[in-house]
Amino acid sequence: MLPHLGAATSALYILWISMAQVAGQDDREKTTALKDLLSRIDLDELMKKDEPPFIFPKTLEEFEYAFNEHGQLRHIKTGEPFVFNAREDLHRWNQKRYEALGEIITEYVYELLEKDCNLTKEMLPVDATEDEPTSFIYLSPDALSNPSKLLVLIQGSGVVRAGQWARRLIINQDLDSGTQIPFIKRAMKEGYGVMVLNPNLNYLEVEKPTKSSPSHSPAEVSDEPAEKRERKEEQEGKKKKEFYEKYRNPQKEAETERIPIRDNGSSEDHVLYVWDYFVSKAAAKNVFIMAHSYGGLSFVELINQRELQVKNKVCAVALTDSSHNIWLQETSKGTQDWMFQAQRGTS
């Protein structure tokens, strides 16, 4: 009986191995199919499903927000602070909404600089033609004529524009925390001329013209019979349409291109340009520089380019959370020593 039992056991063992191999093969096929499916799904597109159009208000009033007497952004009806997640599970839409609000706030701060601080806008380049992109800075009435003191404000990198330190602080805290306005008002009260730089306005963004699909030349046509090729293309097109229909992006964002502003295509270029055409020509005997974050790097680059001029005209420098690097920027030992003394002068 033992031989029969052994034979049965062997048969069961062989059957078990065969089943395991079949199961393993099925698993591999399923895994391969799953990978193929995932490779065809654009997760970014999946997240855009049922996304509302990127159409947002153009004014604070339309957003139903306003700055109160404390400079805090509050909802007109509820009095609550700004809420980023206006719609759950729609992060991209919420981010676009936040950016739209940020653009409105940029214009709002420009208005404050002109009306509350009595600053004037100076276009750049100074010899710009009518059909080229331009940037601008803000000057106090005596920025160029004040014989004693001039304060130059240089912001960090990013979306912030003239008069802003941080958009996030403006939206989530208040205007005094996120803008340069308190510094401007105090400086003017104490007899300083003021220049407000705009180092992040470096280009004009325009929409690219729509490109028409190129037609295929006869040489590019497949050798397959026309009827078979058309049927094949129709089937493939139907499959793609069915597959992507559920996950497609209902709104295709327009493609844009950036046209750089002459001599102001970067923060470093902007600071150098403003120095050459404004700061160096100002009457002030004492120039004070306040630079934040990337603005500090741009100022150090200015020293590298105009070392003697800067050392002769700038008497004190305040760098806040600066991202400069005197070694990577190849700053001379003499300049390093001068910066140490100039920063001590602001303490």
**Cα distances (angstroms) measured from residue 110 to each of 58, 119, 162, 185:** 16, 9, 7, 15
Residue 178 covered by a domain: yes
CB contact burial 98-137 (16+ within 10 A = b; e otherwise): bebbbebbbebbbebbeeebebeebebbeebeeeebbbbb
Residues written for the chain: 347
Q: Angle at Cα 202 formed by Cα 104 and Cα 119, nearest 5°?
A: 60
End-to-end CA distance of the chain: 101
Q: Angle at Cα 42 formed by Cα 38 and Cα 44, nearest 5°?
A: 130
Alpha-carbon Rg for the chain, nearest whole angstrom, is 31
Question: What angle, 0 to 180 degrees and rounded to 10, lies between the N-to-C axes of helices 333-344 and 294-305?
Answer: 130
Residue 249 covered by a domain: no
Tokens 């100022």 found at = 299
188-226 pLDDT per residue, tens? 999 999 999 999 999 998 888 766 545 444 444 456 566
Confidence label for 266 from pLDDT (cuts 50, 70 and 90): very high
- 246 exposure class (CB count in 10 Å sphere: 0-12, 13-18, 19+): exposed
131-159 pLDDT per residue, tens? 999 999 999 999 999 999 999 999 999 99
Dist. CA 220–CA 118, nearest whole Å: 65
Residue 50 covered by a domain: no
Residue 314 covered by a domain: yes
Confidence label for 255 from pLDDT (cuts 50, 70 and 90): confident
Confidence label for 285 from pLDDT (cuts 50, 70 and 90): very high
pLDDT attached to residue 66: 96
Question: What angle, 0 to 180 degrees and rounded to 10, lies between the N-to-C axes of helices 267-277 and 294-305?
Answer: 50
Given a cut of 60, is residue 274 above it in pLDDT?
yes
Secondary structure (H, E, C), 204-251: EEEECCCCCCCCCCHHHCCCCCHHHHHHHHHHHHHHHHHHHHCCCCCC
CATH (domain of 149)? 3.40.50
Residue 295 covered by a domain: yes
Q: Is the peptide bond before 125 cis (omega within 30 degrees of 0)?
A: yes
51-75 pLDDT per residue, tens? 778 888 899 999 999 999 999 999 9
Dist. CA 73–CA 76, nearest whole Å: 9
For residue 188, the enclosing domain spans 118-204+258-344
Tokens matching residue 268: 């470093």
DSSP 293-304: THHHHHHHHHHH
Residues classed as catalytic: 293
Given a cut of 60, is residue 241 above it in pLDDT?
no
- Hey, which residues does 122 pair with through a beta bridge? 137
Q: Are 279 and 195 in contact (CB under 8 A)?
A: yes
Rama region for 117: left / alpha / beta (φ>0; ψ in -120 to 50; rest): alpha
Residue 143 covered by a domain: yes
The percent of the chain in helix, strand and coil, each rounded to the nearest 5, is: 45, 15, 40
Residue 199 covered by a domain: yes
Confidence label for 288 from pLDDT (cuts 50, 70 and 90): very high
Number of domains the chain is built from? 1
Residue 16 covered by a domain: no
